[in-house]
Amino acid sequence: MPFPEADLLPISALQHLLFCERQCALIHVERLWSENLLTTQGALLHRKAHEGKPETRDGERIARGLTLRSLEVGLSGVADIVLWRPPEGRKPQGRTLLDAIRQATAEELTEWSIRPVEYKRGKPKANDCDRVQVCAQALCLEEMLGVTISAGDLYYGQTRRRSEVTFDDPLRAKTLAAATRLHELMAAGETPAAVYEKKCDSCSLYELCLPKAIGRRSARDHFDRELAASLADE
């Protein structure tokens, strides 16, 4: 059954979920957030991708900051970049590529190459969290446009290169499973216990999570106690 608009969850939360379910719950259940150098650099990269003007280059239309949603998967978000390329040998005649996209029927769009590009600050990761995020964008585009998208790209700021992501059946299944788990986590409204791992050292929420000390206590409780103590000293 399709999700109502009010129940759509952010696509970006999938990346948080696959990195750490506790981090995901701290951000999306407890509404906590903290910046560090890595998140600031990532935000700047996304802003640069979003704020650029849409343009046509080398026979390809570049759309920026495109709003996406899927009622079937229950996700919404914003794609950094979506590339639109017409079928080979059928370049628009006497009209711009933008007009060709606007005038194309859903059936005609099935023959276009449409691929999302997600920007990341670092370099390709060993896990699938980034690939799942861009795959979720593709699932949204497929539902919105009635097309099939076979591949997209991840652009990494550290390497300054794109890495192609093939949306094969295993990645699609993992993305759908992650979306299901995300809805379960949000519906439960509970933050998983902290378990320290080496990756915790790079997490911007480390000081709120306190993975070596706080155990099963709520980070929100800890934050509230710290705030109360701070106010009491004034």
Ordered domains of the chain (ranges, CATH): 5-192 (3.90.320), 197-233 (no CATH)
The answer to whether the beta carbons of residues 86 and 100 sit under 8 Å apart is yes
pLDDT in tens, 160-194: 899 999 999 999 999 999 999 999 999 999 999 99
Quick one: DSSP state of residue 189? T
| Nearest-angstrom CA–CA distance, 44 and 198 | 25
Task: Give the pLDDT of residue 158.
Answer: 87
Q: Which residue has the higher pLDDT, 38 or 110?
A: 110
Q: Which residue has the higher pLDDT, 47 or 211?
A: 211
pTM of the model: 0.84
The pair of structure tokens assigned to 200 is: 């915790």
105-125: average pLDDT: 91
pLDDT in tens, 47-69: 777 777 888 988 899 999 999 99
Confidence class of residue 37 from pLDDT cuts 50, 70 and 90? confident
Q: Which amino acid is at 8?
A: L
104-113: average pLDDT: 91
Closest CA to 212 of 200, 196, 223: 196
